[in-house]
Structure 1
């Protein structure tokens, strides 16, 4: 499993080259950014990654700092650190193509932050059950990670395991190690937020929500505020959109790419 040196990190990377015959000009690049704590690039490796590759896109997946097989430094977990890591990874790979950046949950916040910071490197953002990193997002992160009894995130994990002890506890054990060994919980709520709201994000955006998730309530606001945005809400679905509805997620993202920004995709 290849690792690429990016600053202080050895970043675990997986690539899926586009399937099918060559297309005219450079192939589209899609970068898949996973969520926080219980997630890794594996959630994409078995879901969206192969689908995008089969449709003629070069796919790049990587483990975030502290997660999966990437280095776990003790400190340095503000959102801007994750954004800098992505920028440095593209540099280290010699990748000059503007990317379609897909972010799931916290990965969506990274995608939004990267689009605001490096608009030249982002062709579009596809955010799955994600919130842009504005002040309200930072407040929710503080409540979720450092609030009463360790925060809402910790309490939800405990409840999830109690409801079904036979579930695979390993991802949650790994999440506990990250929280114990790093300053992630303290750093993320102190991240630099987009003070000017979403005005810095000028690329096309597709935002996907689960109807039963609390984040779905912001769909209309996000669509109205961003310069070029479409939203979709999956009925009877909570936060785990990518895990529980991967085919519908892939169909919606690829359909938006083809319909709204006319990306040259092809069947493999």
Structure 2
């Protein structure tokens, strides 16, 4: 466990070295989602298994989350990508990395592939959306709704009654972030990409078939990205289907690594059928 200066914040990071200590091992940086998430999501799902399979693993808490600093302002997408670049610099990491992002973490992964392609070997979006203009509208609605509702004690009580104490505690933590920072206002004002063609690295996108985000599949496939759809599954693919996600993403990372990480997007991303769960 470490805390590293990554620009204007200090970031909490955990490293899991590859079994066997291969200096040529692939590097995966896991990026979590907004508000109710932290690096713990990966620690209890994908991280240890990837390290055991010979992958160097980097997990960290986004600014405002977990044990990283929580500044009052500075929550545009470009702030999060700057932190990522600063983290690689602080670690002295010079290998192109595989970025695996859950929810908002996948949006960060896409931004990195568009704005810093030299740093990225490949990306994985888990129930995520690239940072297009349409994304800013979607994220603005969701954050405004959470900012308004989670501040009311009766909303937290309803969450506890219907979803349990753990989810209620996560919701209280989300409310603290929303009320003490400008995150809800900043994220929708982020820099965006003009289109999927700006994502210059190979991508795997994983969705649940019951999630509205799965509507992106036809366009992603048309652009040559690989997609996988898990049957009878909503948004929480990482937490609810960790074994299937682990198999899909680990195979993707190792295949890209074995190919040298320089395959054209169209050559690395055949259309894929859904996976029944």
> What is the TM-score when the length of structure 1 is the normalising length?
0.90
Per the alignment, residue 139 of structure 1 pairs with 137
Q: 1:185 to 1:64 in 2, by over 3 A?
A: same
Per the alignment, residue 102 of structure 2 pairs with 104
Q: In the aligned structure 1, how far is the partner of 2:72 from the partner of 2:83?
A: 15
Query: Is residue 26 of structure 2 the alignment partner of residue 41 of structure 1?
Result: no
Q: In the aligned structure 2, how far is the partner of 1:118 from the partner of 1:57?
A: 22
Query: Is residue 159 of structure 2 the alignment partner of residue 163 of structure 1?
Result: no
Q: 1:222 to 1:158 in 2, by over 3 A?
A: farther
Q: 1:167 to 1:73 in 2, by over 3 A?
A: closer
Per the alignment, residue 228 of structure 2 pairs with 232
Is the Cα contact below 8 Å between 2:76 and 2:191 reproduced in 1?
yes
Q: In the aligned structure 2, how far is the partner of 1:97 from the partner of 1:181?
A: 36
Alignment partner of 2:76 out of 78, 88, 92: 78
Is the Cα contact below 8 Å between 2:26 and 2:257 reproduced in 1?
no
Q: 1:11 to 1:148 in 2, by over 3 A?
A: closer
- Unpaired segments ≥5 residues, structure 1: none
With 158-167 and 111-120 compared, the bigger mean Cα shift is at 158-167
Q: 1:159 to 1:218 in 2, by over 3 A?
A: farther
SS in 1 for 2:171: helix
Deviation per CA, 1:41-97: give whole Å up to 9, x if none.
Answer: 000011110111111110001000000000000000001110111011101111110
Per the alignment, residue 200 of structure 1 pairs with 198
- Unpaired segments ≥5 residues, structure 2: 261-277
Give the count of matched residue pairs.
Answer: 258
SS in 2 for 1:131: coil
Q: 1:79 to 1:159 in 2, by over 3 A?
A: farther
Is the Cα contact below 8 Å between 2:156 and 2:172 reproduced in 1?
no
SS in 2 for 1:169: helix
Deviation per CA, 1:137-173: give whole Å up to 9, x if none.
Answer: 0000111112598379x99987643413444422111
Is the Cα contact below 8 Å between 1:242 and 1:249 reproduced in 2?
yes
With 215-224 and 27-36 compared, the bigger mean Cα shift is at 215-224
Q: 1:175 to 1:151 in 2, by over 3 A?
A: same
Q: 1:136 to 1:157 in 2, by over 3 A?
A: farther
Is the Cα contact below 8 Å between 2:156 and 2:168 reproduced in 1?
no
Deviation (angstroms), 1:35: 0.5
Query: Is residue 241 of structure 2 the alignment partner of residue 242 of structure 1?
Result: no
Q: In the aligned structure 2, how far is the partner of 1:159 from the partner of 1:219?
A: 34
Q: 1:259 to 1:90 in 2, by over 3 A?
A: closer
Is the Cα contact below 8 Å between 1:104 and 1:129 reproduced in 2?
yes
Alignment partner of 1:251 out of 242, 247, 250: 247
Is the Cα contact below 8 Å between 2:121 and 2:201 reproduced in 1?
yes
Q: 1:235 to 1:186 in 2, by over 3 A?
A: same
> What is the TM-score when the length of structure 2 is the normalising length?
0.87
Is the Cα contact below 8 Å between 1:77 and 1:188 reproduced in 2?
yes
